[in-house]
């Protein structure tokens, strides 16, 4: 193994394989991007399915790279989680969402803002206090926020994750289980976690008008969620046919390309003004 004498030596160690060198430069690129404001918060509207009314949004991060153009989260979220950079990114997203909440309130718009958390965030015991301070700074209420977690993000260290989640929930923040149905131990966690919302994974929703098995899974998940006293959200609604199927099944909320793709936060107010819910024919 190569000898490492200083931090400097790590960067220039010829024994370091190409992949780790690329990783080191990606991490410094991410840090630079955060400093230079290259991350952008996009938002995707969430609608009530019975009335079609706008009720909230999911905040989704994008990286607008000066040379490479728009970079999607799949390209940097997993790496950000591995390196712990995600904590800084999550705080940035939470701060942006608090600012958006303040701005929407000024326009008289009441919206529940959903933000994604990852494993590392759940292990961060300071997160509830940090978020609470942020909410106070922008004079917005915790009840305007929903934090989305996945089952696998809890699995790493369930005891610590539960402490963080309890802290957040005690503040009055809603919790949502994202990508429901794709992880494992779904039902055990549903019972133990302080959750308010269940999000059916888009893989079951997208083709449910043609795939009978998918439709059955969606229907059962809606019933399960309702029986547990949770609101149920379908993501990945790409057609009007799926919207009406979900309406018939009593699904509470939906988001998807049929209503809107994620857009820069600045476009949201304009989108709300022109939104016309689908009508029964």
Binding site for ligand C2E (CB under 6 A): 44, 60-61, 72-74, 77, 86, 93, 116, 118, 178-179, 202, 235-238, 255-257, 262
| Among 12-20, 87-95, 143-151, 258-266, the segment contacting Ca ion (CB under 5 A) | 143-151
Bridging pattern class, strands 253-255 and 54-65: unpaired
Contact partners, residue 5, CB within 8 Å, separation at least 6: none
- When the beta carbons of 118 and 253 are compared against ligand C2E, the nearer one is 118
Pseudo-torsion of CA 31, 33, 34, 37, nearest 10°?
160
Question: In the complex, which residue's CB is closest to ligand C2E?
Answer: 256
128 binds, among ligand C2E, Ca ion, none (CB under 5 to 8 A by kind): none
The correct pick among 179, 197, 209, 252 for binding Ca ion (CB under 5 A) is 179
The correct pick among 44, 96, 97, 116 for binding Ca ion (CB under 5 A) is 116
- When the beta carbons of 119 and 144 are compared against ligand C2E, the nearer one is 119
* 153, 124 Cβ separation under 8 angstroms: no
Integer Cα distance of 278 and 281 in angstroms: 9
44 binds, among Ca ion, ligand C2E, none (CB under 5 to 8 A by kind): ligand C2E
* 264, 42 Cβ separation under 8 angstroms: yes
CB of 25 to ligand C2E, least distance (A): 22
Pseudo-torsion of CA 196, 62, 99, 164, nearest 10°?
40
The correct pick among 124, 148, 209, 252 for binding Ca ion (CB under 5 A) is 148
Write down the H helix ranges in the chain: 7-12, 18-35, 77-83, 86-106, 119-122, 127-137, 151-155, 158-171, 186-192, 202-205, 212-227, 240-249, 268-274
CB of 34 to ligand C2E, least distance (A): 12
The correct pick among 121, 178, 209, 214 for binding Ca ion (CB under 5 A) is 178
Per rule CB under 5 A, is residue 121 in the interface with Ca ion?
no
- When the beta carbons of 118 and 144 are compared against Ca ion, the nearer one is 118
Interface contacts to Ca ion, rule CB under 5 A: 116, 148, 178-179
């Amino acid at each position: 193994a190569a000898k490492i004498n200083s931090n400097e030596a790590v960067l220039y160690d010829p024994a370091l394989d190409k992949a780790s060198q690329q990783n080191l430069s990606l991490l410094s690129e991410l840090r630079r991007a955060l400093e230079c404001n290259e991350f952008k918060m996009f938002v995707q509207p969430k609608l009530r399915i019975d009335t079609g009314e706008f009720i909230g949004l999911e905040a989704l991060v994008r990286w607008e790279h000066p040379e490479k153009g728009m970079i999607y989260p799949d390209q940097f979220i997993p790496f950000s989680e591995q390196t712990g950079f995600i904590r800084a990114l999550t705080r940035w997203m939470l701060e942006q969402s608090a600012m958006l909440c303040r701005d929407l309130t000024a326009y008289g718009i009441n919206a529940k803002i959903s933000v994604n958390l990852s494993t590392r965030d759940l292990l961060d015991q300071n997160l509830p206090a940090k978020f609470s301070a942020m909410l106070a700074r922008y004079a917005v209420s915790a009840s305007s926020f929903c934090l989305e977690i996945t089952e696998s993000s809890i699995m790493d260290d369930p005891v610590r994750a539960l402490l963080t989640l309890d802290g957040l929930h005690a503040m009055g923040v809603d919790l949502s289980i994202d990508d429901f149905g794709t992880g494992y131990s779904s039902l055990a966690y549903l019972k133990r976690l302080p959750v308010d919302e269940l999000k059916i994974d888009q893989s079951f929703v997208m083709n449910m008008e043609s795939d009978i098995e998918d439709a059955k899974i969606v229907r059962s998940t809606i019933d399960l969620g309702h029986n547990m006293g949770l609101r149920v959200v379908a993501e990945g609604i790409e057609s009007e046919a799926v919207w009406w199927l979900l309406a018939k099944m009593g699904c509470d909320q939906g988001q998807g390309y049929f209503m809107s793709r994620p857009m820069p936060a600045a476009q949201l107010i304009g989108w709300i003004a022109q939104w016309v819910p689908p009508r029964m024919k």
